[in-house]
Structure formats: C-alpha cells, structure tokens
Chains A and B, each alone.
Chain A
Amino acid sequence: MEKLLVCIQCPQGCKLMVKTEGEEVLVAGNKCPRGASYARQELLNPCRTLTTTVRTEFPDFPLLPVRTAGEIPLGSLFAAMGEINRLLVRNRLRPGDVVLERVSGTDVPLIATADMTLN
C-alpha cells in the first residue's frame, strides 16, 4: 500500500510519502519525527474527532454542539452521524457532560461542548 500525504502536525505542511513493505511502514519527506508517526497512523488507521450537534427538546437551545471525547476511525464517521442524529437531549447539559456512552461501536463517549444553562 502507498499513500501521498500532507502532514498537518504543524504549519510547514511537509509532503509525505508513506508505504508498507511487508510488516514495515516506510515514511519519506518528513522533516521531523512527528511527521513519521502521523504518516504511520494515517496509513494504518486514520482517526478523527467528530464534532456535530444533537437535537434537544428546548426551543431556546434547539441544538447542542457535541464532540467525541477522543478520536474515532475515519471510516466510522458516517455510521456515528446516523446514530447521533437519532438522539434527543432532554436535560440542560454543560460542557463535558456525557451525551452517549459509546459512539458507534467504539469505547469513545460523546460529550456536550456548550453550556445549555447559559441565558
């Protein structure tokens, strides 16, 4: 497997070339070690933090912004969206409050990012 990447660990944006040779992952083009680990992760299991909203039952605060507490696999984002869009928040939550214990088959919780008690 081979992949061309732009490193997003810092504003330099190194152009990375990453490929697998048997068990080994080879990275070229990185100017620092952070680029190598980023490229490895991106090739083997790219993960992202998902940020979205959940419906609430409060007309003055119809949507609650949420995020996954950690990263989840890039390939699971749409399944997670489907699950999250079926939720309804019935309490006034604050940042960090758990909205869903486990997102889409991972062990990563979904947490509130805004303060619904603010008026």
Chain B
Amino acid sequence: MSPAKWDVVVIGAGPGGLAASIAADKAGASVCLVEREARPGGILKQCIHDGFGLVRFGRKLTGPEYAFLDIEEVKGRGIKLFTETFLLDLDRSEEGFVLTLQNSEEAVFRLEAKALVAATGCRERTARQVFIHGQRPAGVYTAGTVQRLINISGYLPGKNCVILGSGDIGLIMARRLTLEGAKVLGVYEIKPEPSGLTRNIVQCLEDYNIPLHLSTTVTEVHGTERLEGVTVCRVDENMRPLPGSEEYVPCDTLVLSVGLIPENDILHPLGVEIDPRTGGPVVDQLLATSEAGLFSCGNALHVNDLVDYVSESGEIAGASAARHALGDYRPPRHVPILAKGEILYAVPQRLDVSLGGQGILYFRAARTLTDAALVISAGGRVLGEKKYKSLRPPEMERIVLDLSLVPAGEENIVLELRG
C-alpha cells in the first residue's frame, strides 16, 4: 500500500504543534498531527498552575485550560491526530519527506508530507549533565519528572526535598511539593541571581517561606539505596566551589531544575543546521530551517519562558509550511542577523529579504541590564530601536521588524544590545 500523502505533517501535539496544525489548516493545506503520548497538549497537561495565556488570550489560564482551547479548535476543524504514535525515521522523498511511524493500530506505517513542522519540544538537563558526584541513589529527579509524578500519576516522590536550580519549573514544584505536604528545605542557585520569573520567586517561595540560596550549588549526593543528604557549597564569581563552605543537608529528594535543551535528534539524519547557542535549528522569519520544506517552532526551536510565544511560533511555522506545500515557493535570499553586545541569542538567525512584510525577532539579554538600548541596523542604517528599563535573561523579549526597511544588497543585519 502506498503511504498516505499530506501537504503538511506536524510532529508533536504540544502547544507549538497544535497552533501549527491550526494555522496550516486555515491556510488550506491538508494537515495531520503526530503525537507520541496518549493525549494532545504536551507539557501543558502537567502544568496545572496558572499564568498561561496572558499575551495570547488576555487572561490567566492553567496549562490544561490553555491546551483545551487549541485542542477544541483542532477537533472542530477535523484535523487528523495520531496519538500514541512514534516517529521512528525521517527521510527525504521526491516530493518532500517520508515519515516512518509506529503505533498499535497500524504497526509500522509511512506517511508522506510535502512540508514538515518539527514541534518536538525540549528535554530537561539531567544530574549527569551538571556534574553532581556520588552514588546513584533513588530520590534524584528532574523537576518535570516530579511534576508529572505529582500532577498526572498522583505520587509524592519524597518528604524532605532540596531543589537545585531556580528555573521556573523548580520554583513551581517547590510550591506544589509544599502544598501536597512535603517539606522543601531550600532552593539552591549557582548563579548570583534567580533564573526564574520574578512572579514565581514571590508566589512560589516567599509565600511559603522557602529559602533561596544564591551563588550556592549541590556538589555531592549521599546515600546508596535512597538519597540521604546532599552537600551544598558556596561558589565564587566564576561559579567554582569555595573550599570550606560545604554544608551537609539531610534530605530524601533532590529536584533538579537546571535547564532545558531543545529536542531535535530526529532531525539529525537530514543534516539540519543547528545554532549552538539555542540548541535549535537555524531559521529565518518564516521559521524555515536549512532544509527546504522543514519548519521548526516552540521549544524545539529555542526554549521559551511563555507558552504564548510557543503558540505564536507554531502559527508562523504552520502557515509557512502550508505555503510551501501548496507550491508558493521561491528560493530565499538570506541575510544573517549578527547579534552583538549583551545578547545571549536571537531567533531567527537570518532573514529572507526577498519577502516584504514583518518579521518577529525574539532575543534574550546575556545578563541583567537596566536602561538598555537595542538597535537594529543594516549597513549603518537604523531599522529599529527600542529602549528597555530592565532586561533579565529569563525574560525573553520580542520585537517586530518592518522588512521593507532592509536596504537591498546588505550582507548582514546587526542586532546590538547595550546596557
């Protein structure tokens, strides 16, 4: 049997993939969604706290409520959704791509797609990736695993918990563990300032008198069967442990909230160009990757702090994929964006200047800045400027650029941030 053919296949039915499939459907493409879990919604299913949707819907929603709105629209539009379906392999075909998938109904089967949206999300950094020494006792978890255990499965993973890293998921889990009856002894952050959003420091730690220890990290775990305690240690300005400042903290659970990494393994065989700063593909303002017909969005593209921007990028990628599949393809003329000054990273990494219209740029500051100025220029001509009273690395910034202002023949566009 020849494989079913679609204009657009979206990999992953989290918020990015849901938005991408809706946008592709709106643009008139035939589209299907492939999801490895039993239900759509991605990580939002376990993010039962609120604070989602302020930008996109103008109100404060919980994760499941935010996902529900998109899932209802996907269902209403009759978009085909494969759940509990794994993508085994991805390859080029004459007309685009061929996907090899597996599920319990069809066993191994193939789909063909003229365009693809990779909405595969991100993964958590693990204990091995932050060089924590010691045995491998039970009781060391990533924050997302703890979140899943408590909110989806209904297990409390421990009673006396230490949290390493002040990223948002760690802060949210400090509150969640406390509300469910566990004791959170402290949150330890190696950097001199918190990684999470300020509102989460206030609502998750201060409300419950949970101490936050900055410039302090966990250097060793103790225990063989079950975790018995951790050694915490202050660090110098280069984040090296200060000898003599070690302290033993007895605990049965260590929760790691030490960063997220975009998940793009499935794209490697295609040789997609990856930006080492974001961990996601190099894209232009259409979110087109270096492979024609392959688009990227959401946390697979770069780790976002707000789901609203995940959805926005999904909408862009889905609409772009539909245009590509429906034959509106012109070879791009790419101009790289050079990030200068205090920029940690910027997405997209290049602009297709053969197109007019607007381009949305996202960027993060490399460090906390007050009274900062962003200047976008090409060949000495200023295309856009914005001043910021304060900028923090955890809080992503968004700026819209009028692409008709880009002078013809420019070699690059400079994005410069000064504190």
**What 1/0 mask marks residues of chain B from 16 to 58 whose CB sits below 8 Å from any chain A CB?**
0000000000000000000000111000010011100000000
Chain A positions within 8 Å of B392 at CB level:
11
Chain A nearest CB: distance from B69 CB in Å? Answer: 9
Chain A positions within 8 Å of B106 at CB level:
none
Chain A positions within 8 Å of B71 at CB level:
115, 118
| Residue A55, interface by CB 8 Å | yes
Chain A nearest CB: distance from B380 CB in Å? Answer: 32
Chain B positions within 8 Å of A63 at CB level:
151-154
Chain A positions within 8 Å of B151 at CB level:
53, 63, 65
| Residue B180, interface by CB 8 Å | yes
Q: Is the CB of B45 within 8 A of A78?
A: no
Q: Is the CB of A119 within 8 A of B179?
A: no
Chain B positions within 8 Å of A95 at CB level:
64-65, 68
Q: Is the CB of A51 within 8 A of B68?
A: no
Chain B nearest CB: distance from A82 CB in Å? Answer: 9
| Residue A89, interface by CB 8 Å | no
**What 1/0 mask marks residues of chain A from 45 to 68 whose CB sits below 8 Å from any chain B CB?**
010111111010000101101110
| Residue B203, interface by CB 8 Å | yes
Chain A nearest CB: distance from B146 CB in Å? Answer: 14
Q: A48-B203, A114-B45 are in contact. Are A78 and B179 (CB under 8 A)?
A: yes
Report A5-57 residues with CB < 8 Å from chain B CB: 5-6, 8, 11-13, 46, 48-53, 55
Chain A positions within 8 Å of B49 at CB level:
51
- Which chain A residue has the least Cβ–Cβ distance from B83? A119
| Residue B389, interface by CB 8 Å | yes
Report B302-333 residues with CB < 8 Å from chain A CB: none
Chain B positions within 8 Å of A104 at CB level:
none
Chain A nearest CB: distance from B360 CB in Å? Answer: 19
| Residue B228, interface by CB 8 Å | no
A contact residues, total (Cβ < 8 Å): 30
Residue A11 contacts which of B38, B64, B65, B395 (CB distance < 8 angstroms)?
B395
Q: Is the CB of B390 within 8 A of A11?
A: yes
Q: Which of A5, A6, A8 has the most chain B CB atoms inside 10 A of its CB?
A: A8
Give complex CA distance A52, B178 in Å. 12
| Residue B412, interface by CB 8 Å | no
**What 1/0 mask marks residues of chain A from 102 to 119 whose CB sits below 8 Å from any chain B CB?**
000000000001110011
Among B122-130, B194-202, B212-220, B341-349, the stretch that binds chain A is B194-202
Chain B positions within 8 Å of A49 at CB level:
50, 60
Q: Is the CB of B68 within 8 A of A114?
A: yes
Q: Is the CB of B179 within 8 A of A52?
A: yes
Report B138-197 residues with CB < 8 Å from chain A CB: 150-154, 179-180, 197
Residue B199 contacts which of A8, A114, A115 (CB distance < 8 angstroms)?
A8
- Which chain B residue has the least Cβ–Cβ distance from A118? B39
Report A68-119 residues with CB < 8 Å from chain B CB: 74, 77-78, 81, 95, 113-115, 118-119
Chain B positions within 8 Å of A66 at CB level:
48
Q: Is the CB of A113 within 8 A of B65?
A: yes
Q: Is the CB of A77 within 8 A of B179?
A: yes
Q: A11-B198, A12-B390 are in contact. Are A74 and B48 (CB under 8 A)?
A: no
Give complex CA distance A118, B83 in Å. 12
Give complex CA distance A25, B368 in Å. 32
Q: Is the CB of A74 within 8 A of B207?
A: yes
A-B residue pairs in contact (CB < 8 Å), sample of 23: A6-B201, A6-B206, A8-B198, A8-B199, A8-B203, A13-B198, A48-B203, A48-B207, A51-B49, A53-B150, A53-B151, A62-B153, A63-B152, A65-B48, A65-B62, A78-B179, A81-B179, A95-B64, A113-B48, A113-B65, A115-B71, A119-B38, A119-B39
19 extra interface residue pairs, beta carbon distance < 8 Å, beyond A12-B390, A52-B180, A114-B65: A6-B198, A6-B201, A8-B199, A8-B202, A11-B392, A11-B395, A12-B389, A13-B198, A51-B48, A53-B150, A62-B154, A65-B151, A78-B179, A95-B68, A113-B64, A113-B65, A114-B45, A115-B71, A119-B39
Residues on B facing A (Cβ under 8 Å): 38-40, 45, 48-50, 60, 62-65, 68, 71, 150-154, 179-180, 197-199, 201-203, 206-207, 389-390, 392, 395
Residues on A facing B (Cβ under 8 Å): 5-6, 8, 11-13, 46, 48-53, 55, 60, 62-63, 65-67, 74, 77-78, 81, 95, 113-115, 118-119
Q: Which 4 A-B pairs have the closest CB atoms?
A: A114-B64, A65-B48, A8-B199, A13-B198
